[in-house]
Amino acid sequence: MNDYQKGIIFVVSAPSGAGKTTLCAELSRRVPNLSRSISFTTRAPRPGEAHGVDYFFVTDDKFTEMVEKNGFLEWAEVHGHRYGTGRDRVMDFVNQGHDVLLNIDCQGAIHLKKKGLDGVFIYILPPSLEALKARLLERRSDPPEEVARRLRKAREEVWSYREYYYLVVNDQVEEALVELEAIVRAERRKMKRMNLGWIEETFIKAKPESAVGEG
Ligand code: 5GP
């Protein structure tokens, strides 16, 4: 449990291939009390991906059922498949004072922002379009037409960077991680997010003499 009132929702978006998934996984490993939200998706698992670890892989019918039951905080169609953030798990975490990291696309992030979510919106970009293309090709899990589609989408969506509060350029992974960690830690120290009752207890109500005597 933190000394701040409620958990913080960190919303991270980036063009596909910018390295966001790796950065988010490593960030939640490095920073205590920061859990990655596991989204639901109708797309098939890629090699090496596991249900309940990378995503909850569900059928179209199951996804529709969740939409109808208002089970998503947000959801969007991305690259021809549906992706959604399960409402219950995220809200339980946040209400218990834990921070959550949402790795979602721009549509989902902008939707949450418009709904008034008091989250921290972070945009990650690769250093150039060439670097993005190279990374998408390196991944080898997507066919060439899918790579081309993702590149086109990146160019269309890049304008949404204006909606975010922070921009991190993922050139060197380690540097990007240091910056992301700094953002998380700084947001946690914001006065508006903290329970400040202890200041009064410690510095105003306590008797200064006893503090000296017991030191
Ligand atoms: P991928 O198929 O490469 O894992 O993800 C494709 C895109 O879907 C990424 O931009 C990723 O951030 C986004 N995405 C993953 N989960 C969610 C989600 O729950 N909601 C939204 N809106 N986008 C998501």
What value does the mean pLDDT take over residues 102-125?
A: 96
Q: Which atom of ligand 1 is nearest to the CA of 16?
A: 10
Confidence of residue 94 (pLDDT cuts 50, 70, 90): very high
Q: Which is the closest atom of ligand 1 to the Cα of 39?
A: 19
Cβ atoms 170, 124 nearer than 8 A: yes
pTM, two decimals, is 0.90
Q: Which domains does the chain have, with CATH numbers?
A: 9-37+97-198 (3.40.50.300)
Express each pLDDT in 128-154 by its tens digit: 999 999 988 887 677 888 889 889 988
- For residues 75 and 79, what is the distance between their CA atoms, to the nearest angstrom? 13
Q: Does ligand 1 come within 6 angstroms of the Cβ of 78?
A: yes
Q: Which residue has the tokens 């910018």?
A: 18
Mean pLDDT of the chain: 91
